[in-house]
Amino acid sequence: MTLRLFFLGFFIAIGALAADKPNIIVILVDDMGFSDIGCYGSEIPTPNLDKLAAGGVRFTQFYNTARCCPTRASLLTGLWSHQAGVGHMVEDLGTSGYRGRLNDRCVTIAEVLRPAGYFTIMSGKWHAGQNHGVTPGNRGFDRSLNAAAGGFYYPDSPHTELFLNGETVGRRGGNIPEQWYSTDLWTDFGIKFIDEALAAKKPIYLHLCRNGPWELYNLKTDRTELHNLAAAEPVRVKELAAKWDAWAERAQVKPYPVKNGKAGNKKK
Cβ atoms of 37 and 7 within 8 Å: the answer is yes
DSSP states along 166-196: TEEEESSBTTB-SS--HHHHHHHHHHHHHHH
Residue 207 has pLDDT above 90, yes or no: yes
Alpha carbons within 13 angstroms on the beta-carbon side of residue 5 total: 15
Task: Report the predicted TM-score, pTM, of the whole model to 2 decimal places.
Answer: 0.74
Q: Give me the catalytic one of 39, 69, 82, 127.
A: 127
Q: 73-114, pLDDT tens digit by residue?
A: 999 999 999 999 999 999 999 999 999 999 999 999 999 999
26 membership: H or E segment, kind and range: strand 23-29
145 membership: H or E segment, kind and range: strand 143-147
CATH architecture of residue range(s) 2-215: 3-Layer(aba) Sandwich (3.40)
More confident site: 2 or 71: 71
Q: Give me the catalytic one of 39, 68, 69, 209.
A: 68
- Per-domain residue ranges for the chain? 2-215, 229-263
68 is catalytic: yes
